Structure 1
């Protein structure tokens, strides 16, 4: 996910590299050398400082902020499902459902990947408790509710894994408090306009750090779970996941497109790579059997790879 999104971060940052680099620098300084609250909110500080710099450089257009009212509804009735009731077309509705349903596969796979990464980051097995069935159900119900009011799909975001890894704040109550603030601010169009006025270079600078953290957490998952890359089957699985996911994402079409019963279905590189990895890991022999977050078993059938210390080297090797 992090590698696929990296091009978006570079494209946004390239609109003004000075602002983007300042955002990255502030995040690094706050996270490494910050104390107290400063160390907890490096992302927010990076956004604020780079946003102010962009304002000083004349990169921000506040005309939309001035025109926006202070109080208003976060939805427009004409964009909701309820507005379609007066001109309902059953055939069109069924076609839309059949077309959009396969897209849920990609978001489900992303959800599982993000929950796994977050579990590893906070050292808690969220797949077991509260359970993947509950987190997926909550994700789905939230998307259903949002779609009724014309909002985009709700899904887990890999950026959150990066934020957790940076801030080390793992208390779910923080998310609940943030949700309450988000709901309150949604009734303030002027606040929304301030967010919309944020230039792409600010988002790009912050995204470079967050997307990189996603990739780094993925590598850390492999290391912590002792995935043995001396095994050809593990190398093949990882190689195909990377090549399919990234290759398809950066191909001319950007997806695998095929037709089923007159319906065109498009699967992203992330969906194809994840499915290929799951299937190959299940069918190829030599699978490592251990629970999520647990320790890999001892492999009695494989010799331990051990490198001697300098003092243990033979004399002729030292001389050579």
Structure 2
């Protein structure tokens, strides 16, 4: 075998490994929201390819299902249906594109000025804490809303705690690449435990064809659903900046300059809007894959192209897609206890790392109001035209930050934060 052939084979195998790392979280999100996991695989592949086309194949990232959108998608599908939700998600992708244009015009510090840590921190916390009841209900054998008991409480708790314990142990004790797949490990061990307790029904898997076209859904455009979904894009757009900085630190390159934050944001937006055209969940960069890149030193973006191709091909294996849908609720519930808690912790860490002074009344007002609005279920508006959850608290946090006057010390701190961000942009440091 020639050196070039060996290099190509190694790149292909590395691509399959990256999909393996992302796989657990990738399929869990559509399973939670009632979307088709095979479609999610397809749109993750398509979205990643589009991202690399926009960024000129320069950033080694893989895009897949965003957990930020779990609660909004669940509410939207129940209220307006799947097709209207896809239309709303298409519009959410456009928000990224608008932000990309503003970043190109005003510079990378623009996003930090209107959405500093005191805004993004509590919004991210709301995402995780707002989803906590879903995880607990599923862990106890109920549907996410707790309305229906799917499995006996005792059996469900045994299975969910096995899945949770496996995920915890792999995340903290595993070595090498295995430490990057705690969700996948939790699903596999939990599934075996659930199967042993008679919770798994494989009838539909046996009846399904080996290969079939994924069940694509075309979007419809409903104004109420769109207005509800648009603000949700704020939090993941801000997280995107952190993801780009993180992968830049791993590879030693400044992606905020080349290809530029405006291009990476545009790539995320196009990937999200494209996914909605097929009935898939919004796409976001995966920190698990960034961790795998750091561990394996696999800096070649072509590896992610191969991961995308494998995801697209796997989407057409119908039996596999149906098998994923047989994962019992307690298995997912156990894993989600850790996952949703981790999201909330990221929000808290955002406040801590930025040294947001909670003894300052202005900061306290923004954070506390945002948390209660988001977690408490505050809704503004009547009928279908209303804002609630992440949509509402995101807008409230931004508005309060812009309206409330700053004391001189707070303004100085904010200017210092902006200087740090500008330095990141200039030198690719964090």
TM-score by length of 1: 0.71
Matched, 1:229 2:353: no
Match of residue 100 from structure 1? 225
Instruction: Write out aligned runs for 1:64-79 (5 A).
Output: 64-75=204-215, 79=217
Match of residue 54 from structure 1? 194
Instruction: Write out aligned runs for 1:290-305 (5 A).
Output: 290-291=416-417, 294=420
Of 189, 197, 202, the residue aligned with 2:318 is 189
8 Å contact 1:106–1:267 — kept in the other structure? no
Match of residue 341 from structure 2? 212
Bigger relative contact order (CA 8 A; separation at least 6): 2
TM-score by length of 2: 0.55
Matched, 1:270 2:390: yes
8 Å contact 1:143–1:154 — kept in the other structure? yes
Of 384, 393, 402, the residue aligned with 1:282 is 402
TM-superposed deviation, 1:52: 0.9
Match of residue 132 from structure 2? 6
TM-superposed deviation, 1:31: 2.2
Q: Secondary structure at the match of 2:415?
A: coil
Length, aligned pairs only? 266
8 Å contact 1:99–1:265 — kept in the other structure? yes
Supply the RMSD in Å over aligned alpha carbons: 3.1
TM-superposed deviation, 1:17: 1.4
Q: Distance in 2 between matches of 1:139 and 1:292?
A: 24
Q: Distance in 2 between matches of 1:26 and 1:138?
A: 35
CA distance change for structure 1 residues 9 and 117 in 2, over 3 Å: closer, same or farther? farther
- C-alpha offsets along residues 111-166 of structure 1, whole Å, 9 cap, x if unaligned? 224325646876869777765544443344334333433x0442449xx56x579x
CA distance change for structure 1 residues 43 and 7 in 2, over 3 Å: closer, same or farther? same
Which blocks of at least 5 consecutive residues in structure 2 are unaligned? 1-126, 142-155, 422-430
Q: Distance in 2 between matches of 1:202 and 1:38?
A: 19
TM-superposed deviation, 1:234: 0.6
Q: Distance in 1 between matches of 2:215 and 2:381?
A: 33
TM-superposed deviation, 1:290: 3.2
Q: Distance in 1 between matches of 2:166 and 2:376?
A: 33
TM-superposed deviation, 1:243: 0.7
Q: Secondary structure at the match of 2:416?
A: coil
Q: Secondary structure at the match of 2:386?
A: strand
